[in-house]
Amino acid sequence: MRRTPIVLALLGALALTGCSSGGQSAQSAAPPASSAPAGSGATFSVITHGAAGDSFWDVVKNGAEAAGRQYGVTVTYQGDGDPARQSQLIDQAVSQQVDGIVVSMANPDALREAVGRAVAADIPVVTINSGADSAKAFGALTHVGQSEDVAGRGAGEQLKAAGVTKLLCVVHEAGNIGLDQRCRGAEETLGGTVERLQVDVSNLADVTSKVTATLQSDQQVNGVLALNPAIAIAARDAIRDSGSQAKLATFDLSADVVTAIQDDEILFAVDQQQYLQGYLPITFLNLYKNNLNTVGGGLPVNTGPGFVTKDNAEQVAKLAEAGTR
């Protein structure tokens, strides 16, 4: 799917500090700490629903920390998939009087009060990844992420073109509204049947087992859509184990996913460029603190979707290895 001119312009402006399309090592995404400018002493807290060690959220963390080095500010990162504990982390950041908070909202209703307390304390908030529809109502400066509905429709279109008529959409986090939007979007454009399979991202062996059992019991399923890179690799193993010819696609990237695309095991990955979901909020908070700038005009700042296919996987692989894609 083509990116909008606004996103292209923004990416161009960040070419020296963000992801490079030319395959240059992404370790140059931010200047070394020794050359970072003297900061204002600001501290920004990033609080996500990602579990520790999750490859997707590691890239978000890398982006936020790179921006912190770039602007000479302190960035702390914490993640917890339980919305109650995530709310507690927001409250802790408020009590510490941080200068800004970045928060992903997989379950917006559960975070409403905690985000409200931050806003009431005059702490600027930028939401990322999930919860775009609630960001403005909650008082956030802006939201940074991709439209999950649009991304899902794009995935459905590509799977339809590949001949998929019955799709298994593998949902790895119960209650995550963004994942439901992805499946629903794919259903709108596929023109076939979409069934959901609920799994637990913390038990990948069980994911492989459940996908294998589904493919063996329903041989009409000829497509699998994973919504997470770790789930994609588990689904790839399930397709092998079951002897199925189902075609596999996924949301989001990891080094293993890019390799699987190169090896024709995965058709494509929907890329929301999560490095930007870490980097841009710190940029926006720093601009707000120093110059009262706001971005987006009340609309989300889109970081995707784009698509990684075999045609561009080699370039993206170098960036994934460096931790920026």
Which of these ranges, 90-94, 153-157, 176-180, has the smallest mean pLDDT?
176-180
Is the predicted pLDDT of residue 29 greater than 70, yes or no?
no
Is the predicted pLDDT of residue 26 greater than 70, yes or no?
no
Which of these ranges, 20-34, 61-75, 223-237, has the smallest mean pLDDT?
20-34
Give the pLDDT band (50/70/90) at residue 222: very high
Give the pLDDT band (50/70/90) at residue 97: very high
Q: In whole angstroms, what is the distance from residue 64 CA to residue 281 CA?
A: 8
Residue matched to tokens 């959409």:
169
Residue 144: beta bridge partners? 128, 301
Which of these ranges, 112-116, 151-155, 176-180, 264-268, has the smallest mean pLDDT?
176-180
Assigned token pair, 281: 């909020």
Share the mean pLDDT of the chain. Answer: 89
Taking each helix axis from N to C end, the angle separating 229-242 and 204-217, rounded to the nearest 10 degrees, works out to: 40
Is the predicted pLDDT of residue 16 greater than 50, yes or no?
no
What confidence tens digit (pLDDT) does each residue in 184-194 have? 999 999 999 99
Assign residue 284 a region (left: φ > 0; alpha: ψ between -120 and 50; beta: otherwise).
alpha
Q: In whole angstroms, what is the distance from residue 135 CA to residue 142 CA?
A: 7
- Would you state the pLDDT for residue 41? 86
What confidence tens digit (pLDDT) does each residue in 101-131 have? 999 999 999 999 999 999 999 999 999 999 9
All structural domains of the chain:
43-146+273-294 (3.40.50.2300), 148-271 (3.40.50.2300)
Is the predicted pLDDT of residue 48 greater than 60, yes or no?
yes
Assigned token pair, 24: 């240059």
What confidence tens digit (pLDDT) does each residue in 53-67 have? 788 899 999 999 999
Is the predicted pLDDT of residue 24 greater than 60, yes or no?
no
What does the pLDDT average to over 61-86? 97
- Phi and psi at residue 169, to the nearest 5°: -100, 115
